[in-house]
Each structure stands twice: as C-alpha cells, then as structure tokens.
Structure 1
C-alpha cells in the first residue's frame, strides 16, 4: 500500500472517530483498505509545505498511537503538549532542526523540574521519530536530544507503626476498604479507579485490571481487604458496578482525585508528620515483600512492571535486613 493510500486511510479513520467516538476504528480501517485495495492514490501538489502542517500531522499521529493502544490520558497529554509546540515553533516540519528543538525546549522547560523536562523531550522524540519512520521528514531532528539527568529521590514507605496508625485513623467503611485494598494489592491508582465488580474473583482474591499500555493483568489482594471490601459493598448506597463509588447521589464511580482527597483526609486525621498518597502504599507493599524474602522477579510481576530495574526503585530493603545479612555472613 502506498504512503498516500495509508495517509488517506488514517485521516478518514481520524475524522470518523471525531464524529462518532464509539466507532470501531479497526473495522472501519479494514473496510476502507478493502475499498482502496485496487487503487493507488496520488497526493495533489499544492506547492511548498505550509507552516501549519504540524497540526495536520499531529492528528494523524494521535490516531495511529490510539490504534497502537496508548491510553486516553497519554494521548491527551501528547495532544496538549504538541499543540503548544506547534503554536510556538511555526515552521514546516521538514525544515525544523535540532537547534530549533533545543531553543524551544529551553523556553518551554525554563521553570520545569527535570522529570517534566524529560517528558517534553520524550514527546518530541516520539513524534519526530514517527514522522521520520513514516517518511514525512527525511531526517529526525529529535534524535540528538539528550534527556536531563534527574535527581534520585528515595520515597520512604510508611513504617509498620505508621501504617497501623493510618489504618486506625479510618472512620468509614469506604476509607478502610480503600486503604487496605490499595496497600494489599499494590495496584496503581489508575488501576483501582477502573475496577468493576465483575472484574473481581472473590474466591481467589484477585481482580483483572487494564494497566499501562492498555495491557490486561491480574492483581491480588489480602483476605483482610476482601472482608473490608465486602462490608463496604453491603453498606454503600446506590446501584453501580464500580468497586468504589461516591457517597452522594448519583453514587457514580470514584475518580482518582477523589481517592487522593480521601487519603489526604485520613492522613490529616491521623496526625502523621509525613506525606501520604495512594502511590506510597504501592512502594510500601513492594518493600514489605522484599523484606520478607520475596524474589525480585515475583515482586516485578505483582507490580506489573515491564522492566525489573523499575521494581528495584520500589522495593526498598530495610536497614535491619541489611545488617542481619551482613552479620550472618561475617
């Protein structure tokens, strides 16, 4: 299939998706490919490439990435940041140089932390890499961009005593259920908010979630979490298939911000002098597993990491365990 044919297909799928959000993109693509099978389209020459071709190619890029399985949240982030780029650097894509990108990043990231700066660099690398692969541009100006060195900040999980103080500060059944589930499952907040009742196997204490990269995986939770969840489900109001719902009518699915607010409220009530947020429970569970002797490969699977190096960031080994192992071999 020619490049022109492929671009027409992508544009048509993109336009139809905007008009009909629930459309089956893969099915539509198959139909259009079938119609164009015996045709070889030729693009109309309109002279020089216009300066707004970034917006045009961005729309195609986002459609392709959606077909590749990127989450809606990730796509929205790419879209908003690349729109800022397109409005600040008004040049034909084919004429953009590495220096152009460096000058743009210098302005764009002037007040950003290294982590946020690297996000901007990664987005440009992804976009221009795709443009180059699809032969929209001859050379990739983002290839030479280097990521900024990020300072290593060790997140200290709650101690056993702090975790118990936090548990004791919970008042409602929902607070207890959310706290115990997040800690025992070590799941991401984004996973927890999407869980529905039909995703849960109560007998085995497992649940199926759609994680990063739109990949399905199984998470596990404790018997204690199961008991607290069941109690919460019996006492909550409304009818919903979501695991966690709001406490007021219409009792809709609880979002990530709402759960973060709930954890912040419990933390304030507990009097703990440390910052507590949902992701910290994930670190805490990983550390507990590590300290109990769970192999790092198993912890990797529990956390749903692609790379084991990421798991080592989460799983901290306690000072007591280090001293014990040192003395044992001395």
Structure 2
C-alpha cells in the first residue's frame, strides 16, 4: 500500500469511528479527490518534522542576509535544532505549551540560560509570524525570567600580580597582559592578527558582538611583553596568538583558555581565573581607579550602560575616599 492509500484508509477509519453510519465507499471517493491535490510525506516516530527543519533553514538564511555574525547564526542554528529534536511538530502546530515544556525540561538550567533560549525562540517564531508562515506566535505570552543579579568575578591587584609571577614563558605573559590590558572578550583577541596592532598608538581594532568594531588599547607593560613574544617567533602565521608547535596556526579559543588555566593553576587560583575574569578585572580595577563609566562602556563594547554598571562596585576604602573628597561640607 502506497502512502496516499495509507492516508486515505487511516482517514476513513477515523471518520468511521466518529460517524458509524457514514457510507465508506462514497466518503473514500470524495476524500481521494481532495487529497489528490496534495503531496504528503510520512514523519517517522522520533524524527524531526521536515516542515520545522525547513522553516529553521529559511530563518537562518534570512538572518544571514540581514548581516548577523557567523557566531550568532551558529548559536541560532544549534538552539533551534535542539528545539526541533524535542518538539517534533510542524511549525504551525507548535503551541505555547510546547515551548514552555522545552524550556522547563531540564531543571538544572540557570535563569540566564533559559532567557537566552527563549530569546532565540522568540526571534524565530516572531519571524515566522511576520512572514506569514504561521498564523500566531506561540512565544508571545512567554516572558523572560528575571535576571539573576550577580556581581562579575574580578581579581584583586594582589591576585593579578600572583598571575604575572606565575608565568613560565614569554608567551604566557604576553597572553595574560593582552587580555587584561585591553579588556577584550576571548573571541575578540582570538581573531587578532599581528598586522592589526598599531605599535605607535599602542592600540588595535577588534570586532565585538553584533559585528561592531571598536578601538582598544594596550598598556606599556602589555606592549613590552607582546614585543618580546613576537620577536621570539620564527613562523609566518599572520595570527597574533599561534600554536607552540608546527604546523604553526592560529591558536584556538580553547587553546588560549588553556594557557590561562595553566598560569592560574600555578598561582593557586585555578577556580577563579578565565579570560572573562580578566575582562572583569580590567573593568573593576579601572573604575575603582577613577575612570569614567561611559569610557569603560566604550572600551568594553557594551551597547547599554546598564551592563557596565554591574562593574561599578567599589571597595569600602574607595567609598570612604569618594565621600570625603566630594561631599560638600
């Protein structure tokens, strides 16, 4: 029995259960005429529905044309693929309850993770609705969970010096100083080439979130150790950070993280240090030293000052100093 005949038989059986007195043959003939104008594909139990899969690809293609970064597109595709693997339905049949079930299935997820997942799904279904692929957006009634307000981790000046003293190689010291002095994200440093460094201005341009370009700066100390690292290299790779062994190539983000882990472990700070912690340290220590909040916002590449405000926690001594300095008696 082919697929069309199977669908026809299944429909007639279902209708017979609902209406026992129907005339089977005439009903079958009428249904056959209607169904002849459609193409059907059977979805096997446990498979991702091809309709949802197609809609995801259309969405990714549309967002690519809008100029979203490859990292954002990869994150969208990964999240939507996981969603499709759990909710095996046509896009138009997906209800709010399906989305809610997907988001709540893993009770160990942090609120920030659930918020990111919901953000991707809202973007996807909103686009489907605007393009009239679906009649209604099932995520409209879903509100993002409240943000968990946690102060970013940062190192003290003493801990930063401990890291510096724990570097065994020129390479490690250069990596540490670059991450701290620029306040860059790991992905931003990973993409830098040697030719990107403006030696005269001690600066470079990086590509941040949303493909936004900004200028960041090196300290004298960072430039010194970076210079030693580059002079000691004997490869032709254009990347700023490269592998230690041949064939020399751009060091992966995980490789940069591993170097920082090695330094932190020797310093006894292995549970407290990562490239992102160095970014937080740059922001916190610079603010505590009197930098303007708007300047730090620009240096970090934050689109909103609210994000930067998370770093504006100062020490007890700093608060007392500011009170004595600025209070009008």
TM-score (norm 2): 0.81
In structure 2, the residue matched to 1:70 is 68
CA distance in 2, matches of 1:121, 1:291: 35
In structure 2, the residue matched to 1:230 is 227
In structure 1, the residue matched to 2:56 is 58
| Counterpart pick for 2:251 among 250, 254, 260 | 254
In structure 2, the residue matched to 1:103 is 101
Number of equivalent positions? 285
Q: Tell me, yes or no, if the aligned pair for 1:52 and 1:90 is still in contact at 8 Å.
A: no
| Counterpart pick for 2:292 among 295, 298, 322 | 295
| Counterpart pick for 1:130 among 127, 135, 146 | 127
- Displacement, 1:152? 2.2
In structure 2, the residue matched to 1:31 is none
CA distance in 2, matches of 1:68, 1:205: 34
Q: Tell me, yes or no, if the aligned pair for 1:286 and 1:316 is still in contact at 8 Å.
A: no
Q: Tell me, yes or no, if the aligned pair for 1:237 and 1:251 is still in contact at 8 Å.
A: no
Match of 2:310, SS?
helix
More off after superposition, 222-231 vs 143-152: 143-152
- Displacement, 1:48? 8.2
CA distance in 2, matches of 1:212, 1:272: 29
CA distance in 2, matches of 1:158, 1:302: 19
Q: Is 2:217 the counterpart of 1:217?
A: no
Q: Tell me, yes or no, if the aligned pair for 2:55 and 2:91 is still in contact at 8 Å.
A: no
CA distance in 2, matches of 1:48, 1:129: 27
In structure 1, the residue matched to 2:90 is 92
Structure 1 stretches lacking a partner, 5+ long: 1-44
CA distance in 2, matches of 1:239, 1:273: 33
- Displacement, 1:273? 7.0
CA distance in 2, matches of 1:124, 1:273: 36
- Displacement, 1:327? 3.8
Match of 1:201, SS?
coil
More off after superposition, 136-145 vs 320-329: 320-329
- Displacement, 1:47? 6.5
Cα-to-partner distance string for 1:67-99 (whole Å, 9 max, x where unaligned): 223222322222122122223222221222212
CA distance in 1, matches of 2:78, 2:94: 20
In structure 1, the residue matched to 2:201 is 204
Match of 1:314, SS?
coil
Write out the 4+ residue segments of structure 1 that deviate beyond 3 Å after TM superposition: 45-51
- Displacement, 1:181? 0.7
In structure 2, the residue matched to 1:186 is 183
CA distance in 2, matches of 1:232, 1:172: 9
CA distance in 2, matches of 1:147, 1:140: 15
The structure whose Rg is larger is: 2
CA distance in 2, matches of 1:321, 1:289: 12
Compute the RMSD of aligned alpha carbons.
2.0
CA distance in 2, matches of 1:210, 1:77: 17
Q: Tell me, yes or no, if the aligned pair for 2:206 and 2:213 is still in contact at 8 Å.
A: yes
Q: Tell me, yes or no, if the aligned pair for 1:236 and 1:247 is still in contact at 8 Å.
A: no
User: Within 5 A, what are the aligned runs for 1:130-149?
Assistant: 130-149=127-146
| Counterpart pick for 2:314 among 312, 317, 320 | 317
